[in-house]
Structure formats: C-alpha cells, structure tokens
C-alpha cells in the first residue's frame, strides 16, 4: 500500500500536536499506567493508611494526635517525601525503563514535553492526595475533632499548594543529579526541618513553613503549630510560584540534557 493510498481523513499537522492534544495524550499515558488492577490494592493501602492511623490512635488526647498526624505528619513529612520519590524522576524512570525514546522522539519541544509530563504526574498526585486528604478529614469527623468542617478548605488548599511546590522542587533536583533522594533528604533535614522549624527571619526559606501558614487559617491548627506567623495568601502564592519556577527551571535543564543512555552494548 503506498502512502498515497492512506485511508485516513484529515492530514497530520505539519509541525506537531497543539498543547491540549499533547497534554491529553500524556495524561492518558500517565493515568492508564498508574490506575491498573495490579496497582490498585497498593494504592488503596497508601491512601487509607493515615486515616486508619488517625482512627486507631484515638484516645483521650485524640485531637492532638489527629492534628499531629494531619498537620505535622501528612503535610510536613508524607507529602514532601512522596513528591521526592514520585516526582523527582519521571524522565529518569522512562529512560531507565527504556520507554523514553517513544516519547522523546515525538514532535514536541523538549521544554514543552517536560512541563506537560510533569503537569500530568502532578495532576495524578493531586487526585490521589485529594482522596487521601478527604479520607483523613473524614476520620477527623468521626473522631469528633472540633470545627473539623472549617479545616477542610485550609487543609486541602495547603495540601494542593504543598504538592505543587514540592513537586517542582523535586523535579529540579531529580534532573540535576542522579543522587536526588539523598540530596532531597539533605535539603529536607536542613531547610525544611531545621530552618523551617525554628522561628527566625530566615524560616521563610522553608516551604513547610508556608504550608503551615496556609493551614493556620484554621484556628486550632494555628494554636497547635509552631513557627507559623505570616499571611496565608502570600504563603500560598509563594508555594505556587516556587513550584512553577522550579518546574520551568527543570524544563530548561531537560532541554539541554540527554537521557538516552550510554554507549552501544
């Protein structure tokens, strides 16, 4: 069959897909790879773990325990660590699996491709954590934590902002070095836990600080957390801006770097 006899109706774009098309295609790849029957049990366990933990820790001081899990543990440790593990290496993962050539040889500028892939992975993470967050809040409702309904907005916003910020940062670290896990942990210990946990002028360098500020719109959180002085709106913008800027920088790094493997076997 010659090319002139091709059956298909409209001609292919001369340059490549538009942004929406490309985003849609990558999103399909991402969610269909993640949401499989094989992975479903693991995902359910991960999503339900913290709410279950919150339920079984109910005791006389269950409010403190719940806030500790939801604010300190979930927002302050789980989200950054999951972002570091999942978002630092989408390109490296594809390269390691050997599937990057299928994607990197499509007619997309490298920066666009990276940003769209990052966006799709981030969207997936936001959806998963939205479910996890709602389950956690449901556990709080069951435990009769006072004013839990007022916590929904600040908590989910803080969570969303934290995911954007830490994802962007993780993506940048992941592209800069292969030892991104260790570098990320070092950053986390020094900046997020170290500087962020101490009330100084420079604790604004810590993203966790800004997350705490956003969630502290909820008064019990404000009383529970330390080192959370600041304006929620500004902190929210800081989180979004950090995530976006870091992602753009990562895209620029990807534009100049190769991930196609070493010499011939």
- Of residues 56 through 75, those in contact with other proteins by CB under 8 A are 56-59, 61-62, 64-65, 68-69, 72-73
User: Rounded CA gap, 214 and 100, in Å?
Assistant: 38
Q: Measured from the CB of residue 64, what is the shortest distance to other proteins in angstroms?
A: 5
Burial (CB < 10 A; 0-12, 13-18, 19+), residue 1, is exposed
Which 20-39 positions form the footprint of other proteins (CB under 8 A)?
21-22, 24-26, 28-29, 32-33, 36, 38
Kindly state the number of chain residues that form the binding site for other proteins, as judged by CB under 8 A.
Answer: 72
- According to CB under 8 A, which one of 89, 158, 160, 247 is a site residue for other proteins? 89
Q: Is 177 in the site for other proteins (CB under 8 A)?
A: no
Site map for other proteins, 185-204, x if CB under 8 A?
x-------------------
Q: Is the distance from CB of 210 to CB of 235 less than 8 angstroms? A: yes
Using alpha carbons only, what angle is made at residue 96 by residues 247 and 33, rounded to the nearest 5 degrees?
75
Q: Is 78 in the site for other proteins (CB under 8 A)?
A: yes
- According to CB under 8 A, which one of 19, 52, 102, 127 is a site residue for other proteins? 102
Q: Measured from the CB of residue 204, what is the shortest distance to other proteins in angstroms?
A: 23
Q: Is 252 in the site for other proteins (CB under 8 A)?
A: no
- According to CB under 8 A, which one of 45, 52, 96, 147 is a site residue for other proteins? 96
Q: Measured from the CB of residue 240, what is the shortest distance to other proteins in angstroms?
A: 26
User: Rounded CA gap, 173 and 195, in Å?
Assistant: 19
Q: What is the DSSP letter of 15?
A: S
Q: Is 41 in the site for other proteins (CB under 8 A)?
A: no
Give the end-to-end CA distance of the chain in Å, rounded to a whole number.
36
Q: Is the distance from CB of 190 to CB of 164 less than 8 angstroms? A: no
User: Rounded CA gap, 215 and 162, in Å?
Assistant: 11
- According to CB under 8 A, which one of 85, 127, 190, 241 is a site residue for other proteins? 85
- According to CB under 8 A, which one of 43, 48, 55, 110 is a site residue for other proteins? 110
Q: Is the distance from CB of 234 to CB of 161 less than 8 angstroms? A: no
Of 82 and 238, CB closest to other proteins: 82
Of 220 and 236, CB closest to other proteins: 220
DSSP assignment of 134-179, as one string? Answer: HHHHHHHHHTT-TTHHHHHHHHHHHHHHHHHHHHHHHHHHHHH-TT
The residue among 147, 191, 150, 166 whose CA lies nearest residue 74 is: 166
Q: Measured from the CB of residue 193, what is the shortest distance to other proteins in angstroms?
A: 10
């Amino acid at each position: 069959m010659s090319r002139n006899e091709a059956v298909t109706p409209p001609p292919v774009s001369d340059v490549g897909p538009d942004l929406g098309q490309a985003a849609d295609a990558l999103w399909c790849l991402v969610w269909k790879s993640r949401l499989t029957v094989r992975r479903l049990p693991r995902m359910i366990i991960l999503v339900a773990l913290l709410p279950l933990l919150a339920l079984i820790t109910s005791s006389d001081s269950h409010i403190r325990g719940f806030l500790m899990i939801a604010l300190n543990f979930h927002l302050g440790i789980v989200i950054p660590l999951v972002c570091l593990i999942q978002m630092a290496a989408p390109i490296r993962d594809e390269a390691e699996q050997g599937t990057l050539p299928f994607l990197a040889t499509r007619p997309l500028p490298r920066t666009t491709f990276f940003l769209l892939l990052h966006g799709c992975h981030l969207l997936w993470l936001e959806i998963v954590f939205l479910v996890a967050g709602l389950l956690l809040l449901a556990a709080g409702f069951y435990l009769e934590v006072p004013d839990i309904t007022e916590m929904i907005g600040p908590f989910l916003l803080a969570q969303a902002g934290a995911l954007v910020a830490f994802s962007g940062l993780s993506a940048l670290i992941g592209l800069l070095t292969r030892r991104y896990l260790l570098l990320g942990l070092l950053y986390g210990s020094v900046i997020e836990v170290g500087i962020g946990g101490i009330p100084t002028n420079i604790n604004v360098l810590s993203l966790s600080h800004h997350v705490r500020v956003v969630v502290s719109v909820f008064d019990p959180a404000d009383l529970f957390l330390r080192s959370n002085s600041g304006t929620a709106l500004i902190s929210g913008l800081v989180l979004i801006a950090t995530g976006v800027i870091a992602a753009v920088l990562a895209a620029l790094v990807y534009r100049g770097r190769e991930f196609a493997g070493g010499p011939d076997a």
